[in-house]
Amino acid sequence: MNKMQLTKEQIGQIFAGVLFGGLFIYGYLFYFWLPTAVKIEENTKKVAVLESDINKARMQKAKYKDLEAKLVSLSAEKEAAQKKLPRERKLPDLLRTITALSKKHKVDIQSITPGGSAPVEYFTKVSYVIALKGNYHDVGRFLTALGLEERILTSENLTMSASVGSDFSLVARFTLVAYQYNG
């Protein structure tokens, strides 16, 4: 084989080409590749953190739906309990209830007298003395309807006597006890 002889000029050109190629590779690595690689790595970490946060948020959202449903259910239970055992006296509502039931069961309310209140551990018993007229079965239905009301009401100390000379066959007097929550 033939040996090639390079001139000094050719060696200089090769050396300059290798030098500029090396400088180009150095510049490319340190000014373009490495900063871009660092940014890619940082962004990859940020994406991983964001994905983790999204997954945590999705898990919390799933729990939140359960909590939201539980909150709705507990709110409904609270409202039902407050209707049965209100915090206030709610006398107008009680009077409307008694009046509506008396009309429904054909009972004539003669009087409603507040009897006072007695605090018990968790609730207060508020008493009203009620006098009414009606026939025996209508009075019984009226008292039963009071006991079946949504609000907790009880009838105590019932006294009945026959009515003479009128359309009504019975006069009843009892203490209606309405309960009120102390909490």
Task: Confirm whether 14 is domain-assigned.
Answer: yes
| DSSP secondary structure of 8-62 | HHHHHHHHHHHHHHHHHHHHIIIIIIHHHHHHHHHHHHHHHHHHHHHHHHHHHHH
Q: 104 and 55 in one domain?
A: no
pLDDT at 70: 83
Does one domain contain both 57 and 113?
A: no
d(CA 18, CA 172): 120
The two three-digit tokens of residue 54, written as one number: 């999204």
Q: Is pLDDT above 90 for 130?
A: yes
Predicted TM-score of the model (pTM): 0.58
Residues 75 and 104 in one domain: no
Instruction: Out of 84, 113, 137, pick the residue that ends a domain.
Output: 84
Residue 72 and residue 135 in one domain = no
Q: Is the pLDDT of residue 175 over 90?
A: yes
CA distance 155 to 76: 28
145 and 110 assigned to the same domain: yes
Per-residue pLDDT averaged across 70-95, rounded?
78
- Does a structural domain hold residue 102? yes
Tell me what pLDDT residue 167 has.
64
Residue 112 and residue 130 in contact, taking contact as beta carbons nearer than 8 Å: yes
Number of H helices, E strands in the chain: 4, 4
Distance CA 31, CA 25 (A): 10
Give the span between the Cα atoms of 97 and 94, in whole angstroms: 5
Shared domain for 96 and 79, answered yes or no, is no
In a domain, 3, yes or no: no
User: Measured between alpha carbons, how far is 131 from 24 in angstroms, rounded to an integer?
Assistant: 109
pLDDT of residue 13 exceeding 70, the answer is yes
Domain count, the chain: 2
One domain for residues 121 and 39 = no
Q: How far apart are CA 61 and CA 67, in angstroms?
A: 9
| 63 lies in the same domain as 100 | no
* Co-location of 20 and 79 in the same domain: yes
Find the angle CA(136)-CA(142)-CA(145) to the nearest 5 degrees.
Answer: 140
23 is in which domain, residue-wise?
9-84
Last residue of a domain, one of 84, 110, 144: 84
Per the domain annotation, does 4 fall within a domain? Answer: no
Residue 2 forms part of a structural domain: no
CATH, residue 136: 3.30.70.60
Q: Quick check: 1 pLDDT over 60?
A: no
